[in-house]
């Protein structure tokens, strides 16, 4: 079976402006709206399009997270994933541990392509795909803005600091989605109902042979330093005068 594995991380919704707990022990996530990491929606959309073009037969969504991450997996199923896997783990998961778990899942599922987001917008790490590819000893193409699959290879355009880079990689491989890869579809109500019947299995990280072993300690959380309140200027002349007074022009 030509299979694509897609990472789906449950994160605080991108519209929420998070706040740090008063005792500096973390950020407040209780009662805050959660959703699929936006880059993972893009990764999933790309996988669905490849299946729709006949280039893949099955799309499997995998999330490492608490039982509540089933909600995000149900959304992924409603978008069109064929089945879903929850790797049950409450609490923080370092990218290396996520990559170790994804490797075990990849070894079981034998995908020709693993599509992840370029970064999770909670911890902003931008590491998991690269780590998975390293552990798997397979190619990686990060920051993808176009993806073309041919017999056994992929051609990927990457959004890099210098502009657009094109790589050719042998499959299987790991590709991480950037914002401009596509625009994810909206979920329709009948799809949500259909998704309830799709298979969603739960796995245990230790049983997979990849129990998380966090090695970094977050000792303190703080809000960012606040900027000083600015001023309104009434017109261009006042703007230029203000800037000139500060030596900025």
Partner 1 sequence: MNRILVIAEHDGRRLAEATARAVACAQAIGGEITVAVLGAEVAEPARAAASLAGVAHVLTFAAPANAHALAAVQAPQLAAVAVSFSHVLAPSTTFGKDLLPRLAALLDVPALSDVMAVETATRFRRPIYAGNAIVTIEAGELRPILATVRLASFEAVATGAAAAAIEAVAVPPELPAHTRFISVTSQDSGRPDLATARRVVSGGRALGSAEKFQLVHELAAVLGAAVGASRAAVDAGYAPNDLQVGQTGKIIAPQLYVALGISGAIQHMTGIKDARAIVAINKDPDAPIFEAADYGLVADLFEAVPQLIAELRSRGR
Ligand X SMILES: Nc1ncnc2c1ncn2[C@@H]1O[C@H](COP(=O)(O)O)[C@@H](O)[C@H]1O
Ligand Y SMILES: Cc1cc2nc3c(=O)[nH]c(=O)nc-3n(C[C@H](O)[C@H](O)[C@H](O)COP(=O)(O)OP(=O)(O)OC[C@H]3O[C@@H](n4cnc5c(N)ncnc54)[C@H](O)[C@@H]3O)c2cc1C
Binding-site member from 13, 148, 207, 221 for partner 1 (CB under 8 A): 221
Query: Cβ distance 38 to 117 under 8 Å?
Result: yes
Residue 246 interacts, among ligand X, partner 1, ligand Y, none and using kind-specific CB cut-offs from 5 to 8 Å, with: partner 1
Euclidean distance between CA atoms 40 and 160, whole angstroms: 19
Residues in the chain, total: 249
Residues that bind ligand X (CB under 6 A): 7-9, 37, 39-40, 43, 62-65, 93, 95, 98, 116-117, 119-120, 123, 125-129
Shortest reach from residue 210's CB to ligand X, in Å: 12
Segment lying near partner 1 (by CB under 8 A), choices 82-90, 192-200, 201-209, 240-248: 240-248
Q: Is 121 in the site for ligand Y (CB under 6 A)?
A: yes
Binding-site member from 151, 162, 186, 190 for partner 1 (CB under 8 A): 162
For CA atoms 156, 41, 197, 86, the dihedral sign is positive
Q: What are 99's two structure tokens?
A: 């990559």
Burial tier of 55 (Cβ tally within 10 Å: 0-12, 13-18, 19+): middle
- Closest to ligand X by CB, 42 vs 154, is 42
HSE-up (13 A, CA, CB side) for residue 183: 1
Kindly state the DSSP code that residue 210 receives in the 8-state scheme.
-
- Closest to ligand Y by CB, 82 vs 159, is 159
Euclidean distance between CA atoms 147 and 45, whole angstroms: 12
Binding-site member from 5, 59, 96, 113 for partner 1 (CB under 8 A): 96
Footprint of ligand Y (CB under 6 A)? 14, 38, 121
């Amino acid at each position: 079976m030509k299979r694509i594995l897609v990472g789906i991380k449950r994160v605080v919704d991108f519209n929420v402006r998070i706040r740090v707990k008063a005792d500096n022990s973390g950020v407040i996530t209780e009662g805050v709206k959660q959703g699929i990491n936006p880059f993972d929606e893009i990764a999933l959309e790309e996988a669905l399009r490849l299946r729709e073009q006949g280039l893949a037969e099955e799309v499997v969504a995998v999330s490492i997270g608490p039982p509540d991450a089933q909600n995000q997996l149900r959304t992924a199923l409603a978008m069109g994933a064929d089945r879903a896997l929850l790797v049950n783990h409450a609490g923080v998961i370092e990218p290396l541990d996520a990559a170790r778990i994804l490797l075990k899942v990849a070894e079981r599922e034998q995908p020709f392509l693993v599509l992840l987001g370029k970064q999770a917008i909670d911890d902003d790490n931008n590491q998991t795909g690269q780590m998975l590819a390293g552990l798997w000893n397979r190619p990686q193409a990060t920051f993808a803005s176009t993806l073309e699959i041919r017999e056994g290879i992929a051609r990927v355009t990457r959004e890099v600091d210098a502009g657009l880079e094109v790589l050719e990689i042998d499959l299987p491989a790991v590709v991480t989605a950037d914002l401009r890869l596509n625009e994810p579809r909206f979920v329709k109500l009948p799809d949500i109902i259909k998704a309830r019947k799709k298979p969603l299995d739960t796995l245990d990280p230790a049983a997979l042979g990849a129990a998380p072993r966090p090695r970094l300690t977050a000792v303190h959380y703080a809000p960012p330093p606040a900027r000083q309140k600015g001023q309104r200027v009434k017109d261009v002349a006042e703007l230029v005068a203000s800037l000139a007074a500060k030596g900025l022009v």
